[in-house]
Amino acid sequence: MEGYLLLYGGNPPFSNPEETMPDAPRAPSAVPRPLRADARRNFDAVLGAARDAFATNGPDASLEDIARRAGVGIATLYRNFPTRSSLIEAVYFDEVDALCRAAEDLGELPPWDALIAWLRRFVEYATTKRALLDGLNRDSDMFRNAKDAMFDAGRPLLARAQASGDARSDVEIGDVLYLISGLLSVTYATDEQRERVLGLALDGIRPQRA
């Protein structure tokens, strides 16, 4: 819970503090879940439905439609997420948390494979962020802390790839993530074209060969 409070301050706004999970190590952006199994299922169902709805319709997606997709009543949605902004923030920070945890799960892969797998996961995060962007307060400390958490998660993966000679030594994790974010801000003719452009960018992280 401490990591979450670093972002939000005070009690978690999405659930009754008495019903949330007890303190445990979390990524700095983790969203606390309710303690009861049924409430937790409803919470996660709403988050998943909101992620899909926002990806399709943007941050103005119907909350009633989100509740229907999640298989819960609108009162359950509002009990967990009192405002549209709180739901948007929860989806965003849950994506950040998943991205950070993904970095921890890639330690068994070879350095380059681990870096590329994580950057592919970053593409998913960036796609979600783009759909939510108009509903996020990008000037908040929470947003900046989430950005720092992502950089901290990716930095060791890049360092491993650099140490093994698989990645250029003259780049930083911020360079790589800004590069990919910029590519994803463009509208492509086809998914295949987007993949080709992304592949070119990833090749650019490789050391230049004589």
- Give the pLDDT confidence of 69-123 residue by residue, as tens digits: 999 999 999 999 999 999 998 999 999 999 999 998 998 899 999 999 999 999 8
- Give the pLDDT confidence of 26-58 residue by residue, as tens digits: 444 457 777 788 888 999 999 999 999 998 888
pTM: 0.75
Q: Hey, what amino acid is at 115?
A: L
Structure tokens at 132: 């939510």
CA atoms within 13 A on the CB side of 154: 25
pLDDT band at 23 (very low <50, low <70, confident <90, very high): very low
- For residues 22 and 197, give the distance between their C-alpha atoms in angstroms, rounded to a whole number: 44
- For residues 202 and 204, give the distance between their C-alpha atoms in angstroms, rounded to a whole number: 5
Contacts of 95 (CB under 8 A, 6+ apart): 51, 124, 125, 128, 129
